[in-house]
Structure 1
Amino acid sequence: MIRVRLTRGTDIGRLEAVERAAATLFRTLPDLAWLAEGRTAGPEAHARAVAQGLSWVAVDEADQPVGFLIAAIEDDADLHVLELAVAADHQGRGAGRALMQTARREAQARALSALTLTTFRRVAWNAPFYARLGYEALTAEAMPAYLLEALAAQAEHGLTDRVAMRLSL
């Protein structure tokens, strides 16, 4: 059974390990294997999301994080998913879906118009996963400035084949 709760400050120290465990799946993709050793969101991003009430963890039976989602509000209208990570040994059990549903409920409670994110277009557990949840890929013409800027920054760090996606509420 997957349980999702707000992230506590005491959880932050465990989230890098969750993110690293999630990233190990990139080792199966030669062009993206380097991401398994790449940088993580970092404690500052987690602390900022926790302070804004925009960070959730999926926890195991011992109430230890096995996945997380951090978000930010953009343009006073969208809840932007900054990072979703589920430890590799807990994937496929509904934790990612539960975290995304929690973010959707939060966006609705805040009367926001959409959820957005950026992700890899052709990685099976990325864009295809979000498409199954109802997210649609955006063209450059349809993207708000913050998504264009996010994709440009990601490209500068070697992240190509990225797509911005949106779920209208």
Structure 2
Amino acid sequence: MTGPDEAGWNIRLARPDDAPAMPAIERAAGAMFDRIEGLAGIAGQQTVPVDRLRRYIARGHCLVATSGETLVGFLVTQPFGRELHVYEFSVHPDWQGQGIGTALIRACLIDARNCGFIAVTLTTFDQVPWNAPFYRRMGFRDVDPTEHKRLALELENEHANGFPADSRVAMASNIS
């Protein structure tokens, strides 16, 4: 899976040796939330630990965007039954606006479909332009957490970890 060669980036499956570079990208992307009222200091402050990233990568569905040998974005997932859940999705701010995020999501949906998953799920900020509105444009729909126990638990955990409860939404893209 690759992005346009002329764009200077490619998409591929993540490898365990990619994990150490991911927290810096997550932190840089998270800093963009500092300009959103009520979200400053929330996103990107506690990055996904490298050992946990390696466990996700070992499951075979995580993707990275690279420019040469440099990681510029990534999408980390975990299977749950017949659903593939996106746990972290970050593109370094210096590389945003080039279609990398769209390519990562599309590649994730293709991988999920090819592997027999029926949906890709995630939780995200509802009103942040590069979060829920982006996913809605990509075909994701809002999910009522009272109808999806695992996503309800994800939202509860996020709230317990400092995310404002009314700012988050659960989403899914049915791919079957």
TM-score by length of 1: 0.93
Q: Which amino acid aligns with 1:151?
A: L
Answer whether contact 2:42 2:163 (CA < 8 A) is retained.
no
Q: CA deviation at 1:12?
A: 1.2
**Does 2:73 correspond to 1:71?**
no
**Structure 1 spans left out of the alignment, 5+ residues:** none
Aligned-residue CA RMSD (Å): 1.2
Distance (Å, rounded) in 2 between the aligned partners of 1:18 and 1:135? 24
Where does the alignment leave 5 or more consecutive residues of structure 2 unmatched? 1-6
1:36, CA displacement in angstroms? 5.1
- 1:68, distance to aligned residue in structure 2 (A): 0.4
Percent same amino acid among aligned pairs? Answer: 35
User: Does structure 1 residue 141 correspond to structure 2 residue 138?
Assistant: no
The letter for the 2-side match of 1:155 is: H
Partner of 2:18: 11
The list of structure 1 runs, each at least 4 consecutive aligned residues, that deviate by more than 3 angstroms after superposition, is none
| CA shift digits 1:99-140 (9 cap, x unpaired) | 111111111111111111000001111000000000000113
CA distance in 1, matches of 2:34, 2:145: 30
Conserved 8 A contact 1:3-1:58: yes
For the residues of structure 1 that align with 2:59 and 2:157, how far apart are their CA atoms? 23
Q: What is the aligned partner in structure 1 of residue 59 from structure 2?
A: 52
Of residues 145-154 and 2-11 in structure 1, the stretch that sits farther from structure 2 once superposed is: 2-11
Residues 37, 142 of structure 1: alpha-carbon distance in 2 compared, 3 angstrom cutoff: closer
Distance 1:36 1:120 in 2: 10
- Number of positions where the alignment pairs a residue of Structure 1 with one of Structure 2: 166
